[in-house]
Every structure is written in C-alpha cells, then in structure tokens.
C-alpha cells in the first residue's frame, strides 16, 4: 500500500503537501525543496551530497595532475643545487692551479 501524494507532507516544511519524491533518498518534498538536476528530480540534500562527491573527485584529479609537475620542479631544483655545487667547486680551485698549463 502506497501513501497518496496529496496526504504526504514535505520533510522540511510540515505545513506543505509533498510535490515529489526524491528518487535517491526516497523522501517526500514540496516543490520548493525538490529541484531538477541533470533532467531528474533531486532533493537539496542529495544534490549537495552529489556536488560534494563531484568536488572530491575533481580535487583528487587535480592532485594527480599536480604531482608530475611537482616532481619535475623538485628534479630541476636538485639539478640547480648540484650545478651550484659544481660552480662553487670550480670557483674554490685556486687561480694559480692553471699556471703552466694550456693557457700559457
Ligand atoms: Zn534526496
Ligand atoms: Zn519543503
């Protein structure tokens, strides 16, 4: 036996008759509480939950997309540090080291 829609009240507004039932959670809501999203009816709570899931998924994707760029940056930073080390090593060699070699 199903409850007639006209006698069912909105979950949020107890004084308003239900207009539709959310297919996701199965709760009755009035026309104000239920919205159409992507061609189907959804209550505000389910819509918010769906949006949170989408946002979380997008954030995961973003993190995955950022990681290779970060690795590249770390690699370049290490390379630069190594280069700096080599440059310091070359500068630390005394100038008279080359006396009597190729340049004379
Ligand atoms: Zn719902
Ligand atoms: Zn309502």
Q: What is the Å distance from ligand 2's center to 51 Cα? A: 20
Q: How far is the CA of 5 from the centre of ligand 1 (A)?
A: 16
Contact of 54 with 61, CB cutoff 8 Å: no
Q: Are 10 and 27 in contact (CB under 8 A)?
A: no
pTM of the entire structure? 0.51
Range 28-33 average pLDDT: 93
Q: How far is the CA of 34 from the centre of ligand 1 (A)?
A: 8
**Domain residues of the chain, as ranges?**
5-92
Q: What is the DSSP letter of 28?
A: E
Compute the distance from residue 59 Cα to the ligand 1 centre, in Å.
24
User: Residue 93: is its pLDDT beyond 90?
Assistant: no
Q: Helix (H, G, I), strand (E, B), or coil: what is residue 69?
A: helix
User: Over the stretch 41-75, which tens digit does the pLDDT of each residue have?
Assistant: 999 999 999 999 999 999 998 888 888 899 999 99
Q: What is the pLDDT of residue 67?
A: 87
Mean pLDDT of 2-21: 84
- Angle (CA) 10-11-16 rounded to 5° is 25
19 Cα to the center of ligand 1, angstroms: 13
């Amino acid at each position: 036996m199903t409850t007639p829609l006209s006698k069912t009240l909105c979950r949020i507004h107890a004084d308003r008759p239900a207009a539709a039932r959310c297919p996701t959670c199965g709760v009755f809501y009035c026309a104000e509480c239920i919205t159409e999203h992507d061609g189907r009816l959804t209550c505000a709570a389910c819509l918010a939950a769906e949006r949170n899931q989408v946002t979380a998924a997008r954030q995961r994707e973003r993190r995955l997309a950022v990681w290779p760029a970060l690795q590249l940056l770390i690699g370049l930073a290490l390379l630069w540090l190594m280069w700096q080390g080599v440059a310091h090593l070359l500068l630390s060699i005394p100038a008279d080291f080359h006396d009597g070699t190729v340049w004379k």
